[in-house]
Structure 1
């Protein structure tokens, strides 16, 4: 850890994609200088995603300490049944355990408060302001998830707590008071509704003044910027007048070989006089072959019932048909194909 780094808190981290990006910024492959950012806490509730999150945290710890990766790779590749760590490797492992936490926000208020105190204690070791990143679970917002919910007669959006998990993000935003935050989600969040009202305007309004959303008297205010348009949202603006697609990033326009469309909100403390640069669109289209050519053949394996190429093809066809059937029943089909 370097006190001059910007500490990062990653909520609803999954396997750590956002953490990976922030941690690698300014860190060259052979450079011993630390990254601009240091992920001090990352939180995920799903065990397998958390396992990856922790392993990557450990990997970054080895890099920062300048330790050899030979033992690490031998263990990952199955060349060694046990991983006998050196003293320094053991220190990196323990540090990873204190950074990557298995925790479900919004279930146990006492545990959540302990977590918030743990985060605040971590931040005390830094001279610079923190950054909060993360994306509340998307199943309630995603178009595919909503298509499946349409077929569930007992489903109620008003009773689906996942619609309101962004408020757990708000609580930590309020407690940690970062200078900058990044919230990411699927494009379905722009049209998702509760009680007939779109939820995205409420999220915008709450994020620019989290203390007010939580019923507190004092707190920081933020300005929310788009990374692809000139759109910004300030305290006092009418959220209903905002065109949500102004915050939508279409990854294929920015050198990514995938049509992954995500809403990304960049919040900057109101008192900071800065206008962030927008992403620069790519002048060429990059496809999957450009990226993966030369790599050895690889596919996932079936964990149950044996594994073979024929069974793999059969499973893919069955899952694809289930998805097609769900989409045909969905009112969101025009959004998906558009």
Structure 2
């Protein structure tokens, strides 16, 4: 974790997708700041994975995944100073000084002189185009959402720690939120505290991820350093989305994988092997299918049928369903609320946190399974390795996966 001697602080860390890419690239984390308890625990568990792996004690991690030891027993094996790097607090004017103090303590204890990189991005719901389309139904209108101001917290970290570079990630909607004022203000604040910046809208699909996922990535560097925005070569795999799903146990709605490990590696596709998404010793977790009503199953089958019956790949429109299968009164918006994951293409549509609500938008492409995708399948599409364990109930796990930066994309950014 310290190959290149560079360190970083991860803000609004979520489940650690961006952080994972930086760790894989050889950076060492100084701190992860995350307000959500389940996501913070997921990062702690990931710290345990790396510590035990680096110290030849990985069996204890696998024992935890198999349920042979408790989480408390797992964390007892990890030095407290390692776990201290996870700061489970909400960022605000009233808490930021305390967070600074904790990070300063870590720096002293680990004899860290300077912070090399700050990474992260505020919760994206406040800038999301889908969210803003629904803002008329919300208690707090989007323009008054306090999350719109969280970028100021990020800038306060830049001002205090003066990292040589930073990476700020967010949804494409940040550019047009509040008529573009939010994005303009963000850039002004960043420049005011001493940074030159550049930004591009990047797609995870161009980084080898089998998913179309557009994000705005701002990169900043201290004025006078002569750094610049990295140049990224397009990486397109020849794999299909099926390759990510092929070797996982077949599940019907409501079923879960009984086997913790898959000993038969013969079904593993080249893409999964080459990108270390699965290795033989990995324990399979999170592969539990939601139960579905008979009505939803029938709709899922029709949706899958329409996609595969011709090369044009037709999507099912809600109004095309027989009356006995329609339950929603709203027939004019979200007419594509049922969507199959594009198994026979080199990328699928964007994995969203909405997966926590229902799986209608993420139907497994196998008509024999006629169900929505599992947490593990969503995590694979996001390029998380199978040894990445997500804490909390299933709904919380779906939110963590849906909000994450794909680690494969993050690693390329970290490398550059």
Task: Compute the TM-score of the two structures, normalised by the length of structure 1.
Answer: 0.71
User: How far apart are the structure 2 equivalents of 1:177 and 1:299?
Assistant: 52
Quote the offset at 1:79 in angstroms.
Answer: 3.1
Instruction: Give the superposition deviation at 1:81.
Output: 5.3
Q: What root-mean-square deviation, in Å, do the aligned CA atoms of Structure 1 and Structure 2 show?
A: 3.5
**Cα distance per residue 1:84-132 (max 9 Å; x no partner):** 46xxx746252343011110001x61x3202112213333422554211
**Residues 132 and 142, structure 2, Cα contact 8 Å, conserved in 1:** no
CA contact (8 A) 1:4 1:128 kept: no
1:68 corresponds to 2:21: no
Is 1:151 matched up with 2:140? no
2:39 to 26, 36, 49: 49
Asked if the contact 2:253–2:290 (Cα under 8 Å) also holds between the matched residues in 1, the reply is: no
Residues 11-50 of structure 1 aligned to structure 2 (within 5 Å): 11-25=11-25, 35=26, 37-50=27-40
Give the drift of 1:290. 2.8
- Equivalent of 2:101, from 110, 117, 124? 117
- Residues 1:283 and 1:16: Cα distance change in structure 2 (over 3 Å): closer
Which deviates more, 265-274 or 308-317? 308-317
After TM superposition, the structure 1 = structure 2 runs for residues 1-338 of structure 1, keeping only pairs within 5 Å, are 5-25=5-25, 35=26, 37-64=27-54, 66-80=55-69, 84=73, 90=76, 92-106=78-92, 109=94, 111-124=95-108, 125-127=111-113, 129-152=115-138, 154-193=139-178, 196-210=179-193, 221-226=194-199, 247-284=200-237, 286-297=239-250, 309-311=291-293, 314=296, 327=334
Find the aligned partners of 1:300 and 1:266 in 2 and give their Cα distance: 43
Residues 61-95 of structure 1: per-residue CA shift (max 9 Å, x gap): 2233x23111221121123457646xxx7462523
**Post-superposition offset of 1:315:** 9.5
* Cα distance in 2, alignment partners of residues 138 and 251 from structure 1: 16
Structure richer in strand, relative to its length: 1
Aligned equivalents of 2:24, 2:145: Cα separation in 1 = 36
- Superposed displacement of residue 6, structure 1: 1.8
Distance 2:53 2:298 in 1: 38
Aligned pair count reads 277
TM-score normalised by length of structure 2: 0.58
- Quick check: 1:130–1:180 contact (8 Å CA) kept in 2? yes
Q: Is the 8 A contact 1:183 1:266 kept in 2?
A: yes
Per the alignment, do residues 313 and 50 of structure 1 end up closer, same or farther by CA in structure 2, a change over 3 Å counting?
A: farther
Aligned counterparts of 1:163 and 1:94: Cα–Cα separation in 2: 34
Change (3 A) 1:38 1:251: same
User: 2:296, 2:82 → 1: CA distance?
Assistant: 39
CA distance in 2, matches of 1:187, 1:316: 35
Separation of aligned partners in 2, 1:182 and 1:137: 15
Rounded to whole Å, the distance in 1 between the matches of 2:253 and 2:107 is 39
Distance in 2 between residues matched to 1:299 and 1:165, nearest whole Å: 42
Partner Cα distance (1:316, 1:92) in 2: 48
CA distance in 2, matches of 1:324, 1:143: 21
